[in-house]
Amino acid sequence: MDTMKNKTSLYIANGAMIAAIYVVLTLLFAPISFGAMQVRISEALCVLPMFTSSAIPGLFVGCLLANLLGGAIVWDVVLGSLATLIGAAGGYLLRKNRWLVPLPTIVANALIVPPVLKYGYGVDMPLLLIAAYVALGEVVSCYGLGEILCGALMRIKPFKR
């Protein structure tokens, strides 16, 4: 029974650490974390479902808290966090292929976030252009920075594949 408690505690602790890092990175780089043209440094963490399922709730809670603390409107808090949850879960399902892991995060954000930016924040640009900007920011974060993180983690013994 203690082993099960330890595994549950470790799962929760890992998720909480991921959430905390997500919040700190998002708020630390707030000028580029919010808006139609955004590159969330914290989205690099979306490669973590490749290594642990605790990243799924961790990324979701981290995004939720970052959006709340960053002053986002309710639709952004709810839908932006949902996009991150969908992306993290999809990344976990694709964890066998390192290069596919970031894809669900990019797609979920490119589909869900643009209407929030246009109709919630009043961004005066065509919806498809907003989607392109969101997707581009996600590609930079998830593939650019995320792959650097992934490569670094894969050099550490517990994460080697």
pLDDT at 3: 76
Distance CA 133, CA 120 (A): 17
Say what the pTM is.
Answer: 0.93
Domains of the chain: 2-30+38-159 (1.10.1760)
Contact 77, 109 (CB under 8 A): no
Secondary structure of the chain as H, E, C letters: CHHHHHHHHHHHHHHHHHHHHHHHHHHHCHHHHCCCCCCCHHHHHHHHHHCCCCHHHHHHHHHHHHHHHCCCCHHHHHHHHHHHHHHHHHHHHCCCCCCCCCHHHHHHHHHHHHHHHHHHCCCCCCHHHHHHHHHHHHHHHHHHHHHHHHHHHCCCHHHCC
Give the separation between CA 54 and CA 32, rounded to whole angstroms: 26
- Alpha-carbon distance of 131 to 153, in angstroms, equals 30
Per-residue pLDDT of the chain (161 residues; tens, 9 = 90+): 577 778 899 999 999 999 999 999 999 999 999 988 899 999 999 999 999 999 999 999 999 999 999 999 999 999 999 999 999 999 999 999 999 999 999 999 999 999 999 999 999 999 999 999 999 999 999 999 999 999 999 998 777 66
CA separation for the pair 124, 130 (Å, rounded):
9
Residue 113 near residue 127 (C-beta atoms within 8 A): no
